């Protein structure tokens, strides 16, 4: 069966929503929801490291010493079908009064900017921070879509399509409303 799929134009490109496992996506860059120590973990991060194999962690250790919340780093993608992995660090939700929305926007913005610096046309991202980090997805979805709109409208961007790979029908519905 075709996965449920939604799309709309944004700048000269498009934003697409899919219910999908991001580790299976053959795009130029997949975004990982990492932590500030880049140490691996559960959720998307665990799935990505398992699917990519040990080269992913080896490269992270060799090239980087962590990554501040709200920013991102890039590596190759090991055995994943993507070309690059952009490891973006979203905020842990506290109460919304600790800059969480701005940090989430910044994590997406950094991830998309890095992908464009590496000449990527197609990028897939998960819903950063809305799993283990507890960011309410109703608040996160418009921030994610807004950052994608901004990236695709940026003069000189190489990005053509940003796909959000949502892990459940419920998450897909929330993103569809925001789109
Ligand atoms: N494909 C797409 N989405 C997924 C996948 C997948 N394979 N697996 C989970 N999701 P989370 P966070 C969804 O917890 O909240 C790790 O330990 C999941 O259902 O992966 O940013 C890191 O190392 C949820 O909607 O990321 C950090 O310590 C979304 O992806 C911490 O978790 C994000 O959930 C980061 O927490």
Domains of the chain: 23-178 (3.40.220.10)
Catalytic residue numbers read 45
CA angle 125, 74, 22 (to 5 degrees): 25
- Coil, strand or helix at 120: coil
Query: How far apart are alpha carbons 30 and 124 in whole angstroms?
Result: 5
| CB distance 46 to 56 below 8 Å | no
Q: Which of 125, 55, 122 is nearest to 86 (CA)?
A: 125
Element (H, E) at 59: helix 55-63
Is residue 43 classed exposed, middle or buried when 0-12, 13-18 and 19+ CB atoms within 10 A define those classes?
Answer: middle
36 lines ligand 1 (CB under 6 A): no
Indicate whether this model's pTM tops 0.95: yes
Q: Both tokens of residue 62?
A: 């060799």
The rounded Å distance from CA 32 to ligand 1 centre is 8
pLDDT tens for the chain, residues 1 to 179: 345 569 999 999 999 999 999 999 999 999 999 999 999 999 999 999 999 999 999 999 999 999 999 999 999 999 999 999 999 999 999 999 999 999 999 999 999 999 999 999 999 999 999 999 999 999 999 999 999 999 999 999 999 999 999 999 999 999 999 99
23 lines ligand 1 (CB under 6 A): yes
């Amino acid at each position: 069966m075709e996965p449920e799929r939604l799309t709309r134009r944004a700048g000269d490109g498009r934003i697409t929503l899919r219910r999908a496992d991001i580790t299976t996506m053959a795009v130029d860059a997949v975004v990982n929801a990492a932590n500030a120590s880049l140490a691996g973990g559960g959720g998307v991060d665990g799935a990505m490291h398992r699917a990519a194999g040990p080269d992913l962690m080896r490269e992270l250790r060799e090239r980087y010493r962590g990554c501040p919340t709200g920013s991102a780093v890039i590596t190759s993608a090991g055995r994943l079908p993507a070309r690059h992995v952009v490891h973006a660090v979203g905020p842990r939700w506290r109460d919304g009064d600790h800059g969480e929305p701005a940090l989430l926007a910044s994590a997406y913005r950094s991830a998309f900017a890095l992908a464009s610096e590496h000449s990527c046309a197609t990028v897939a991202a998960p819903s950063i921070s809305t799993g283990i980090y507890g960011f309410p997805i109703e608040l996160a979805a418009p921030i994610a879509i807004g950052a994608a709109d901004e990236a695709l409208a940026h003069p000189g961007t190489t990005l053509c399509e940003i796909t959000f790979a949502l892990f459940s029908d419920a998450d897909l519905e929330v993103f569809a409303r925001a789109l």
